[in-house]
Structure 1
Amino acid sequence: MAPAQPLRGHCPLCRAATDFQGDPQGNIRERLYCGNCGCNARQRAAARVLLEALEAAGTARVYATEQASLFYRTLRGRVGQLHGGEYGVGLSRRWRLQLWLWRHGVFERVVLRDLTALEFADAGLDAVISLDVLEHIVDTGAALREAARVLRPGGVFVFTVPFYPDKARSRQIARLRDDGQVVFEGRPEYHGDPVSGGVPCFHHFGWDLLAMLREAGFADARVLRVHDPGAGLPQGQWVFRARR
């Protein structure tokens, strides 16, 4: 079988005309990388929703729930002020992340941040963006309320999670015991992480996540199916957008 031909298009994140590397007929969510910035389909879809939602991206103050990543490095060039952060990393891993940033031309220190307890002032940000993080947080409600707290009126929370569109209600598949041990209700589920190799998943999200966002303080909450072959998105990707 002949290898799949690259899909030619225009990356909405780095704005380059490029070939998207990978099989456009396969599962593209974590693949189909931009030949210029290296970001995958899920990241491009979320970036497109974010940048379209911002009134003035060039002056916007944005918090991203990651820092040592190609996505963060690329998004820095698209918004006015980008704050990143990593969660739950020890000293050795923090040093590896720091070296990664420096090698990729990002000369800032790695900051430890927790989406359930941010140090940002009330209504101080224009946007928060989070990519496949909420499913790894035990208290989803606390994270959603904190995202709402730090956003100004009209600010936007853009995020992705593994979404189950055939499910009306979300399901918690794991809990954290008082001693810190993760206890799964069924088969253990871990998701890949570029550095640690895997982190436990606590939730499978369904359509009630929209109601959870409204209860947390968002005036409007939607889940979008982002589809644009010219942007390296030949298959629709689910992206949530909540407006404060």
Structure 2
Amino acid sequence: MSDVHDHHHHHHDHHDFASANQAFFDKHAHQADHRPQAKEMAASVCKAVLEAYPFDKEATVVLDYACGTGIVARSIAPHCKTLIGVDISQGMVDEFNTGVQDHGIPVEKMRAVRVELKGEETELEGIKFDVVMCSLAYHHIEDILAVTRLLTFFLKPGGTLIVVDYPEMDATAVPKEALPMIAHKSGISEAGIKAAYDGAGLGNFQQVLFKGPKSGMHPEDIFLAKGVKL
């Protein structure tokens, strides 16, 4: 979960989302899990993800993209066989792996790597995943179709892509504290996320809404979208 909002104002041009986000998350990784409501938010997201897919702790192999510190992944891990987190921020990956160690989780079960995925067969040891998930990071991504195609590449046939994020809202309704210390969009419309899933060749599109914790920093409504690699 990469959604780090704090009160430092960093203004970035939108032409380079990735490096702006990487620099921000490297700097703030150590604070991420201590933000107000980080745990409540992670619990809300985890509950929605576990309801969206029939995880099997003996079999399900999961990729958590833009995994952040692993605060969501640690709650998913007991329900799957293996979970690999990827993030472009080394700071986040270090926090993730420290958290795995601190919680006594075996590294074979759960680990994170710093990589900018390109969608090549040699990446991630050639593993294909039952579930690829991305929580609260799509609104930091400029080209969601390209990323959705990328994530679909890492799914097994019949695998499920789960994206959790904020629904589109009027930019004027975004809490001003949340703006733009990092590259950011004001949520994603259902039409926008469905177009990205369709464009990536995913079928059985479904979207559900659920509530996160009340906060001045982010909207309370959250969506979970899912689709299947045909």
For 1:163, the aligned partner's letter is: P
CA deviations on 1:222-244 (whole Å, 9 max, x unpaired) are 112358xxxxxxx9852111111
Relative to structure 1, the CA distance from residue 95 to residue 226 in structure 2 (aligned partners, 3 Å threshold; closer, same or farther) is: closer
Return the alpha-carbon distance in structure 1 between the equivalents of residues 126 and 95 of structure 2. 32
For 1:207, the equivalent position in structure 2 comes to: 190
Residues 63-82 of structure 1 aligned to structure 2 (within 5 Å): 63-65=63-65, 66=67, 68-82=69-83
| Contact 2:69-2:93 within 8 A present in 1 as well | no
Paired AA for residue 188 in structure 2: F
Letter in structure 1 aligned against 2:61: R
Give 3-state SS (helix, strand or coil) of 2:87's partner: coil
Alignment RMSD (CA, Å) = 3.7
For 2:140 and 2:118, locate their aligned partners in 1 and report how far apart those are by CA, in whole Å.
Answer: 12
Structure with greater strand percent: 1
Identity %: 15
Higher-Rg member (1/2): 1
Distance in 1, matches of 2:119 and 2:159, equals 18
Match of 1:128 among 103, 125, 132: 132
Q: Which runs of 5+ in 1 are unaligned?
A: 1-29, 172-186, 191-197, 228-234
CA deviation digits over 1:14-40, x for unaligned, max 9?
xxxxxxxxxxxxxxxx95957xxx942
Deviation at 1:120, TM superposition (A): 4.1
Map of 1:32-181 to 2, 5 A cutoff?
A: 39-51=42-54, 54=55, 56-65=56-65, 66=67, 68-89=69-90, 95-108=94-107, 110-114=112-116, 117=119, 119-120=123-124, 124-164=128-168
Measured after TM superposition, the shift of residue 102 of structure 1 is: 2.3
Cα offset, 1:136, TM superposition: 1.0
Change (3 A) 1:48 1:116: farther
TM-score by length of 2: 0.61
Shift of 1:115: 5.4
Offset of residue 84 of structure 1: 1.3
Which structure 2 residue ranges, 5 or more long, are not aligned? 1-35, 172-176, 212-219
Q: Which residue of 2 aligns with 1:219?
A: 203
Structure with the bigger percentage of helix: 2
Q: Secondary structure at the match of 1:242?
A: strand
Confirm or deny: 8 A CA contact 1:122 1:152 kept in the other structure.
no
Query: How many pairs were matched up?
Result: 176
Using CA pairs under 8 Å that are at least 6 residues apart, name the structure with larger relative contact order, 1 or 2: 2
Normalization by structure 1: what TM-score? 0.58
